[in-house]
Amino acid sequence: MNTTEKALMHGLFVHLHHNIDKVIDFKSFEELNREVDKLWPGALAIGPEKNDDAAVFQIPGMKGFVVAKMESHCSPCVPRPYDAAATGAGGAMRDVVAMGGRPVFLLDFIGTRPLDQEVIVGPCGFKGRCDCGKCKIMTSQERLNIMVRGLRDMCATMGVFVVGGGFSTSFSDIVPAVVVSVIGKLVTKKPLTKPAKKAGDKIIIIGVTGNDGNDTLFRAGLVNEMRPAVALFKEEKTALDAAMAAFETGKIKTCSDLGAAGIGAAICESARYGGLGARIDLSKVPVSIKNITPQEILICETQARYVVHTAPESADDVLQAVRSKTEYAEIIGEVTSDDKEIFEYGKETIAVIPNKPSPEQIDALRSGI
């Protein structure tokens, strides 16, 4: 394993963000839901045991399906409360879109220290004191106002209602709680489940990639400076409109948003869940800055991006639909019948990720080797 492979594989197979089923008993939920299904037959289409981007369900007696996702952005709110709250909301909205849904409603919960207590906002926030001279000292109320504004501005941009939520000032930790739930309407004929569907399908990226959201690379020592994901507003709406245009073709088989570990995680999880592989040329990915490295293109968590899969004969039609909304759309690779994902930059191989790492590889990832 090279360092890039270690960083991505750690995220995919060890980090709990991608392995929540290792600590949450999804089987008990599945058993519960089977019992409840006797009361409401067929109401739940995609539940937690599928470990997909969002839940899909039908309210008995109502036409159509609902898509729902909950997401938190607690720790990022310490250094950057506005961007973190906004990207938390935007990320949950993209998960709804990834299932073939259009986000419509948002509920939020914020938990913070008593409103008159001081908090440190900035790079030193986790220390409880500022050593850099760049932080701001403000009241918990002032930080709350900033976080609410981030949520509100993202919803305003995306055309999403804020319909309620919860609030508490009983938190004593440095890190506030910032949790959002987004509810939307399924607009595709059926949910766009995460697994890749067929070898040969083309993979199209929507949106432009930068070098922000490089947490995974920073932890792996591949970059010297951590650059949190920047909240994108106009770009999020453009990407949403482009995804909706793609869905209207009726030719999309799978859609993923590019959240934690970016392109790498989205491609690998989709291929692995489908029992397939993928080959990606990272040099085809639209980028927003010069001198961005292949590793940054692969793993950075720039907001406002999706990848979709479509049959080869449909790729031109999908591209035409997407490009009616944004110039940032390219075919970056295809699904293969292999058992691994190969990421290249031109003729250079950047990373090869197996669908089933060996026990020795998993042990090495867990030990940090």
Note down pLDDT in tens along the chain; length 369 residues. 999 999 999 999 999 888 998 899 999 999 999 999 999 999 999 999 999 999 999 999 999 999 999 999 999 999 999 999 999 999 999 999 999 999 999 999 999 999 999 999 998 999 989 999 999 999 999 999 999 999 999 999 999 999 999 999 999 999 999 999 999 999 999 999 999 999 999 999 999 999 999 988 998 889 988 888 999 999 999 999 999 999 999 999 999 999 889 999 999 999 999 999 999 999 999 999 999 999 999 999 999 999 999 999 999 999 999 999 999 999 999 999 999 999 999 999 999 999 999 999 999 999 876
Where is the domain boundary, 158, 186, 214? 186
> Angle of helix 3-13 relative to helix 359-367, nearest 10 degrees?
90
Give the Å distances, CA to CA, from 244 to 103, 263, 297. Answer: 11, 20, 24
Where is the domain boundary, 162, 186, 210? 186
Domain membership flag for residue 101: yes
Predicted confidence at residue 369, as pLDDT, reads: 61
Helices then strands, each counted (H, E), the chain: 10, 15
b/e string for 105-137 if b means 16 or more Cβ within 10 A? bbbbbbbbbeeeeebbbebbbeeeebeeeebee
What is the domain count for the chain? 2
| Two structure tokens written together for 143 | 């930080």
Instruction: Residue 266: give the domain boundaries.
Output: 202-367
Examine the domain organization and report whether 211 and 343 are in the same domain: yes
Predicted confidence at residue 219, as pLDDT, reads: 86
Task: State the Cα–Cα distance between residues 260 and 157, nearest whole angstrom.
Answer: 22
Q: At residue 226, what are phi and psi to the nearest 5 degrees?
A: -80, 130
Domain membership flag for residue 83: yes
Examine the domain organization and report whether 108 and 216 are in the same domain: no
Where is the domain boundary, 186, 217, 252? 186
CATH number assigned to the domain comprising residue 329: 3.90.650.10
Domain membership flag for residue 14: no
Predicted confidence at residue 145, as pLDDT, reads: 98
Examine the domain organization and report whether 276 and 140 are in the same domain: no
Please tell me whether the overall predicted TM-score, pTM, comes out greater than 0.85 for this model.
yes
Examine the domain organization and report whether 129 and 59 are in the same domain: yes
Examine the domain organization and report whether 210 and 359 are in the same domain: yes
Q: 158: buried, middle or exposed (CB in 10 Å: 19+, 13-18, 0-12)?
A: buried
Domain membership flag for residue 22: no
Cβ(22)–Cβ(16) below 8 Å = yes
Examine the domain organization and report whether 253 and 326 are in the same domain: yes
Predicted confidence at residue 210, as pLDDT, reads: 97
Q: Any idea how long the chain is?
A: 369
Partners of residue 102 on adjacent β-strands = 185
